[in-house]
Amino acid sequence: MKIKNITINKIKGSVKGMIITSCFAATLLSLSACKKYLDIVPDNVATIDNAFTMRTEAEKYLFTCYSFLPKDGDPFYNVGMLSGDELWVPTQEWDFVSYAWRSARGGQNAAQPFMNAWVGNYHGGGPGDRFGLWKGIRNCNIFLENVKDESKVRDLRPDERARWIAEVTFLKAYYHYYLLRMYGPIPLVDTNIDVSATEDNVRIKRMPFDECVTYISKLLDEATPNLPNIITDRTTELGRITKPVALAIKAKLLLMAASPLFNGNTDYTSFKDHDGVSLFPTAFSADKWKLAADAAKVAIDAAETAGSKLYVFPGSTFKLSDTTNLQLTLRSAITERWNEEHIWANPNTNTDFLQRTAMPKLANGGASGDARMQLAAPLKIAEMFYSSNGVPITEDKLLNFANKLVPDLSANLIRTNFIIEGFKDVYFRDVKLMNGVLFSTLESLAVFSRADSVIVDELNTRRVD
């Protein structure tokens, strides 16, 4: 009986082992089959090659490269508007949370930097967060690599191919220029790093400032010849890059390089990389100013050849004084859409939010609309405008600004300067003060532009309180 039980138990154990072995083998086979199944690429999956099979798809990628242009017309995204002290906003930040403004008040930090164009957050970089400019440069490199290959995008005309390559070469240069202006010496990404690159290959070095300027200038030189002088299809192409645009940016680049901030600034003497290479030039070079001046002259000549010129108010049916005409010229050069002074209007931005936040409420008893009154020039900035004699008010020997904060209700001064009543510091000032800064008790001319005709009603004024 014992022998029989032992035999039965052995048989059961053997069968159990065979079952376990079979299950284990089946599991391995299943995993292998799953792996093979998961390795199968589904049909009709879009790849980067699909973006360059035909013109219509490649054009979408062209506009992807444009899509990283920063929103320079928006006070939130233009770091230059609120990171200084030229403008002041309410500190309560009800619905006006500006990271540039926080930086101006000492809130900038290294852990989560504001206005971060490097990766694209906190209002930095392109037209919104997640538009880091390095991503823009990578997209530009992808476009150039594929469109320069004439075996791709076969239905693209040769002249159009050359123009698109020039446009994206400019954008690549512009994004490098923007980063250089923000951070000083930067890495130069001429070609994209392969996704399988080693860690050492990914960690590219920052290049010295002058080398960055030379590289960006070279890209702009490459782009310029194949760019159009003017935009002929104004319905669909306004805002795209032209030859005057490229030359203007080159002039700005070289002017920045010649400025005291980067030309012989001894504050950066010890600013070196890990290999001991100086990243900033510490010796002054007068030649940089010559290069900047020459580039500016070339840019101006190109703009004038393309039809651009300084805007002059065209006049009206009303009899206006020379001062009023000058005010309207200075104002309309900024506000008149697509006027002849425009060289490049950024297609990624508009100024509607800037207008709403800067507009004061008008004390006319009516609705204020969307005038928020959130941007203002501090008194210090207002006092930097020159006197009517063309000198700072602290240096004017012919006019007395000693009692500038004493109200003066002189009737002739009030009517001449369009001021209802006010302090002496606003009298006998440069016309740019009246044109650029609205202050309490100023009367402002109402200007309307419709169908290319300008109507100026000097009597239709609004009082600013």
Tell me the mean pLDDT in the region 174-191. 96
The DSSP code sequence of 348-393 is T--SHHHHHHHPPPB-SSS--TT-----B--HHHHTTS-BTTSS-T
pLDDT 10s digits, 227-251: 999 999 988 998 999 999 999 999 9
pTM of the model: 0.82
pLDDT of residue 371: 79
Q: Which is nearest to 71 in space by CA: 163, 113, 133?
A: 133
pLDDT of residue 265: 94
Tell me the mean pLDDT in the region 155-168. 97
pLDDT of residue 431: 81
pLDDT band at residue 410 under the 50/70/90 scheme: low
The DSSP code sequence of 223-260 is HGGGS-SS-S-TTT-TTS--HHHHHHHHHHHHHHHHST
Q: How many CB atoms lie within 10 A of CB 89?
A: 17
Q: What distances in angstroms separate CA 273 from CA 102, 134, 269, one per listed residue? A: 30, 21, 12
Tell me the mean pLDDT in the region 57-78. 93
Read off the tokens for 187: 């890495």
Using the predicted structure, report yes or no on whether residue 200 has a pLDDT greater than 60: yes
**Mean pLDDT (the chain, rounded):** 82
pLDDT 10s digits, 92-145: 777 788 899 999 889 999 999 999 999 999 999 888 778 899 999 999 999 999
Q: State the Cα torsion 442-448-452-453 to the nearest 10°.
A: -90
pLDDT band at residue 374 under the 50/70/90 scheme: confident
Using the predicted structure, report yes or no on whether residue 43 has a pLDDT greater than 90: no
pLDDT band at residue 418 under the 50/70/90 scheme: very low
pLDDT band at residue 425 under the 50/70/90 scheme: low
**CA atoms lying within 13 Å on the CB side of residue 308:** 22
pLDDT of residue 414: 42
pLDDT 10s digits, 330-362: 888 988 888 999 899 888 888 888 888 888 776
